[in-house]
Structure 1
């Protein structure tokens, strides 16, 4: 077998000699068929490996290029969506401001109309009282007239039954009759005057009743518009707090309990009825004022909870809340150039402002309702511990300090010490702020 194999190799790969010549001698290297086979095999393997490796590198380069292009397209789509959301947020803010202005104007109209309504009711009650007095006077005058007529009849009968007494008695009776006739004439004139006044009062009362009805219809229309505006204004705020996992009723109670300003603690608004009973209009007005109070409390709560964006300049999201590389990523990353401003998303107190291990330059802000926010990897800190900050205040600049692979802001939200997804608050506030 070995001889036949050798013979077969001799046919394909005959023995060759490689001569090496020098000045003094000549040598040669014998290349047997087996050595040639090994050499050709080795060369073939090397060439094949080079081809495969080159193909792998080319495919990897093409795939990386496609990935970068896809990432760039995704970034452009995301930035377009972010710009659209920003425009929509500005529109919603403008609409909310216009609604508040309309609401304030309508509230002023309600106050004026309510005052007019109370004055009209007062005038109506005065007219009713006047009508009762006029009717009582009419009854008294009628009784006096009847009494005078009875006296005149009696005197007339006495005159007719007289048998021609002394002239002095006749003169006395004649004077009494004249006096009674004069009293009857005055009584009749007074009766006519009172009747005319009563008729005028009744006509004026009908006009007042019509005026009151028209005023009531106008008030109903104003109340309806106010109630619709109240619903439109309250529902987005209520939904914003619920989507952030906060109970609106508890928030309002906490704000009302903890708020203290000029004039004492914040208490619910109410509409005065000036000592009278609570009529339906006053009840509706009180409901609207309660809604205004709720909006005011929501506004105070919204200023104290982190519903705003910490970065307002151009940026891109590079990592969200959740598992990353087998570890929990407890915040959201905003990538932007070094020096990009960082803003406080809500009112609060700075509890930490300095270096913190992997966080680098870190700022912690304690807000109301047990909420804390953190801002890591800053290049410069612009606040100090104990400082009270307001929503929208510049608190630092984006950097690359600490354990970071590039300039970005690592933003965390913690409720009761437990990290939550910051996008819950950001998305909840997009339809309101």
Structure 2
């Protein structure tokens, strides 16, 4: 059976690939090589495979060259678009920085105006109290004078009645000169009492006019203070709420830390000396409470990371969230934001706090950690130089190091993190919330 199949196969091959001989002739001898049908088939198959491979390889190379060219062009277009976007963002950031600076100047001017108005308000309140006391004295004097005038009139009437021949003067046989002197003194006292009463009424009218003028001035000062408080407190309140920070709890925490007697945040109020509080007193107390709230907000703002860690020109190179790892190419969580600038760019603390770490941090490189109030921690990684030590207390805006490329990086930048209760949150929440305030 095998022999018949082999014979048939050989016959078919002989039909298409007849046996050939290749002669090789030399000077002394002639030889030949017999090419059997199977050998010819193998040679043809090998040649076909080689030609096919060459065609496929050439096509792959051409397609790769075309694709690479298109990819490079696309990459260049993307790079130009990205660069234009970065330039636009840089311009927007500079504009926001100018707006923040202008807002800060307006805020400082409003605070200065509030301080002046508060002094004027306290002075006017003191003057008003003094005038009220003076009016009370004048009214008392006026009542005494009116009483004395009535007594003098009564005496004068009695004397005049006696001068007409009453039983009292006739019985006493008083001299005429004594009566004349008594009448003169009584008339003089009466005239003086009338004059004093008129002067007292004029003074009372003048004081009433002054009090009305002071009330108008106080009302103007109150309105200006209320407007200033509204302009100053509202942006700070919005900033904390935009950052997701509960304002009531934050302010209560700050108040507990500054509750000592005589401290900067001792609750303020006007005394009413046991009397029912007047509308002005209630209004002044509301304003003073607003000022106290403003002070609390300012202190809380210095203790939360609302400041930008990089004040020189920079660009954002990586945002918070999942991204492609620049080293491995895999997808992983990026727990902060990256600021790219020149080597040695100053880096600043974003809030008041205490340095808890200042050293090498594995992939972080040279790392500084700062613990702030409200359970907030900030991290500044990849520094070229650290300018603080563990345990050191720092203030918002204080320089803590220089930008570098230490640790696991692909270039010079700052990796900045904000952690609340140990959990990483997006730092841009705080930075964007403060754009309209600082």
What's the TM-score bracket when you normalise by the shorter of the two chains? 0.7 to 0.9
Note if 1:410 corresponds to 2:421.
no
- CA 1:22–1:202 in structure 2 vs 1: closer, same or farther (change >3 Å)? farther
Partner of 2:382, secondary structure, is strand
- CA 1:39–1:417 in structure 2 vs 1: closer, same or farther (change >3 Å)? closer
Query: Deviation of residue 266 (structure 1)?
Result: 3.7
1:322–1:329: 8 Å Cα contact kept in structure 2? yes
2:153 matched to which residue of 1? 142
Note if 1:61 corresponds to 2:63.
no
Note if 1:103 corresponds to 2:123.
no
Partner of 2:357, secondary structure, is strand
Report the Cα distance in structure 1 between the residues aligned to 2:262 and 2:206, rounded to whole angstroms.
Answer: 44
Query: Deviation of residue 93 (structure 1)?
Result: 0.9
1:313–1:340: 8 Å Cα contact kept in structure 2? yes
Structure 1 residue runs without a partner (length 5+): 1-19, 160-168
Aligned match for 1:75, one of 58, 63, 86: 86
1:52-201 correspondence to structure 2 within 5 Å: 52-155=63-166, 173=173, 175-201=174-200
2:146–2:197: 8 Å Cα contact kept in structure 1? yes
The total of aligned residue pairs comes to: 406
- CA 1:281–1:231 in structure 2 vs 1: closer, same or farther (change >3 Å)? same
Structure 2 residue runs without a partner (length 5+): 1-23, 325-330
- Over aligned residues, Cα RMSD in angstroms? 3.3
Note if 1:332 corresponds to 2:331.
no
1:221 matched to which residue of 2? 220
1:383-422 correspondence to structure 2 within 5 Å: 383-422=388-427
- CA 1:48–1:250 in structure 2 vs 1: closer, same or farther (change >3 Å)? closer
Note if 1:426 corresponds to 2:424.
no
Query: Deviation of residue 255 (structure 1)?
Result: 1.4
State the TM-score, normalized to the length of structure 2: 0.83
State the TM-score, normalized to the length of structure 1: 0.84
1:389-431 deviations in Å (ceiling 9; x for gaps):
1111111122222222222111111111121111111111121
1:225-284 deviations in Å (ceiling 9; x for gaps):
111111111111111111122222222222121127794584212234567553222222
Report the Cα distance in structure 2 between the residues aligned to 1:26 and 1:87, rounded to whole angstroms.
Answer: 99
- CA 1:136–1:389 in structure 2 vs 1: closer, same or farther (change >3 Å)? same
Partner of 1:378, secondary structure, is strand
2:358–2:388: 8 Å Cα contact kept in structure 1? yes
Partner of 2:429, secondary structure, is helix
1:207 matched to which residue of 2? 206
Report the Cα distance in structure 2 between the residues aligned to 1:275 and 1:390, rounded to whole angstroms.
Answer: 44
- CA 1:234–1:26 in structure 2 vs 1: closer, same or farther (change >3 Å)? farther
